[in-house]
Amino acid sequence: MKEIKSSDYSVWIGDHSFSKLNISAYSKIAILVDENTKRYCFPKLQKLENSIVIEIKSGEEYKNINTCNFIWEQLTEHNFDRNSLLINLGGGVIGDMGGLCASTYKRGIDFVQIPTTLLSMVDASSGGKVGINFNQFKNHIGLFNNPKAVFISIDFLESLPENQLKSGFAEVVKHALISDNSLWKRLLSIPFVDLDWEDIIETSVHIKNKIFSADPFEKGERKKLNFGHTFGHAIESYYLEKGTPILHGEAVFMGMILETEISHLSETDKNEIKNYILSNFALPYTPKKYNLHKFLINDKKNQSGKINFSLLNKIGNCTIDNLFSTDEL
Ligand SMILES: NC(=O)c1ccc[n+]([C@@H]2O[C@H](COP(=O)([O-])OP(=O)(O)OC[C@H]3O[C@@H](n4cnc5c(N)ncnc54)[C@H](O)[C@@H]3O)[C@@H](O)[C@H]2O)c1
């Protein structure tokens, strides 16, 4: 079992890491699941006395205030007091929304993250961002609050559909490109199907941990994690508006290709990145840039009317606050 220490909590990686949690410290425990994590992941969790299961519907469209109401109602009906615990067993949707509900219920109860998708293992479960969507705005309502602990077991990946695994992998590729050239070389040299997930997840969690620990509230360094996500979010919104949503990771892969093109890299490096992504992952069609302008103009990171990109200056290094007008793109 591996421990990665963050500011005031630890990320534990390995089977049975959950046993590190001092369950007896809590008066009541709720486990938040969706229909998929209830079916595939909940049976793998050790049985907990004095616990209830709160089941919500899976999907980004349920990451909203109505579902929060339901979660708060369940906690209230079961007389959860301030010494209770919420266990978020699921992907990023469960982790973000459960984290917000726990952080606000009776002014805050403890929560732990047990991520069950690759994306939530390497990205969403750590860093302290919790929240929900509001109308068409993603993660519009939320706050920074750390879990008591994160428990990662790669066992959960067994049931994860391949497209979800590949989608989560986009964040691993991002972590390598912005901060770790040796991880990038490893990704290039080992076929996707032969990757050692525990090793890849551990390296990836370390990278994210190092970056957000230096800048928990995203004033500087943490913006590096946005590489690929400015175009990526615009592409995600484009497909959402068309009524044919795509996975977050698919949009981020396309975003990384577009942002690699405007990065300060040699042509060889640009081609290496583009070829790696395109040869390993089947992606939807990339929209024309002018179709993305209206989404880019509304990006939350914009400064003085310009679009703000985090871009690579070499593989394994990233610069922040690169400003472009839509005409310059
Ligand atoms: N807080 C952060 O820092 C942060 C970072 C990145 C993304 N996010 C958020 O994460 C969310 C996306 O997370 P996601 O990609 O994990 O999606 P998700 O939570 O919607 O999970 C994807 C699907 O996989 C199913 N699933 C989960 N685990 C499974 C398993 N082990 N076996 C079978 N099916 C399983 C879920 O039921 C769901 O249908 C977005 O809302 C995004 O905003 C947050």
Residue 18, pLDDT score: 82
Report the residue among 36, 67, 145, 151 best suited for mutation to probe ligand 1: largest number of ligand atoms under 8 A from its CB.
36
- State the Cα–Cα distance between residues 118 and 100, nearest whole angstrom: 21
What 3-state DSSP class applies to 7? coil
pTM of the predicted model as reported, rounded to 2 decimal places: 0.96
Residue with CA at minimum distance from ligand 1 atom 3: 124
250 is catalytic: no
> Using alpha carbons only, what angle is made at residue 127 by residues 230 and 46, rounded to the nearest 5 degrees?
125
Per DSSP (E only), the strands in the chain are 2-5, 10-13, 29-34, 51-56, 85-90, 110-115, 129-134, 137-144, 149-152, 307-314, 317-324
Residue 139, pLDDT score: 86
| Fold of the domain spanning 162-328 | Dehydroquinate synthase-like, alpha domain (1.20.1090)
129 is catalytic: yes
Residue 137, pLDDT score: 77
The one-letter code for the residue type at 94 is I
For tokens 């909203």, the residue is 64
Residue 240, pLDDT score: 87
- State the Cα–Cα distance between residues 114 and 105, nearest whole angstrom: 20
User: Which ligand 1 atom is nearest residue 59's CA?
Assistant: 20
Residue 231, pLDDT score: 97
Q: How far is CA 73 from CA 94, 160, 303, in A?
A: 16, 30, 40
Residue 41, pLDDT score: 97
**Ligand 1 centroid distance, CA of 90 (Å):** 7
Residue 76 Cα to chain centre, angstroms: 29
Residue among 55, 60, 198, 218 flagged as catalytic: 218
Residue among 36, 38, 63, 129 flagged as catalytic: 129
56 touches 78 (CB < 8 A): no
Report the residue among 33, 68, 119, 162 best suited for mutation to probe ligand 1: largest number of ligand atoms under 8 A from its CB.
119
Residue 261, pLDDT score: 97
171 is catalytic: yes
Q: How far is CA 59 from CA 64, 226, 257, in A?
A: 10, 23, 26
For tokens 């892969």, the residue is 253
Residues with CB under 6 A from ligand 1: 34, 36-37, 40-41, 58, 60, 63, 90-94, 96, 116-117, 119-120, 123-124, 127, 129, 139, 156, 159-160, 164, 248
With CA atoms as reference, report the closest residue to 88 among 14, 146, 137. Answer: 146
259 is catalytic: no
Residue 250, pLDDT score: 96
The one-letter code for the residue type at 24 is S
Is residue 66 packed enough to be buried (19+ CB in 10 Å), middle (13-18) or exposed (0-12)?
Answer: exposed
User: Which ligand 1 atom is nearest residue 126's CA?
Assistant: 3
CATH class assigned to 2-159: alpha beta
Domain range summary for the chain, segments of one domain joined by +: 2-159, 162-328
**Ligand 1 centroid distance, CA of 137 (Å):** 17
Residue among 229, 250, 308, 322 flagged as catalytic: 229
What 3-state DSSP class applies to 71? helix
Residue 135, pLDDT score: 82
Q: Please list the pLDDT of the chain residue by residue as tens digits (329 residues).
A: 999 999 899 999 998 788 888 889 999 999 999 999 999 999 999 888 889 999 999 999 999 999 999 999 999 999 999 999 999 999 999 999 999 999 999 999 999 999 999 999 999 999 999 999 988 778 889 999 999 999 999 999 999 999 999 999 999 999 999 999 999 999 999 999 999 999 999 999 999 999 999 999 989 999 999 999 999 999 998 998 898 989 999 999 999 999 999 999 999 999 999 999 999 999 999 999 999 999 999 888 899 899 999 999 999 999 999 999 998 98
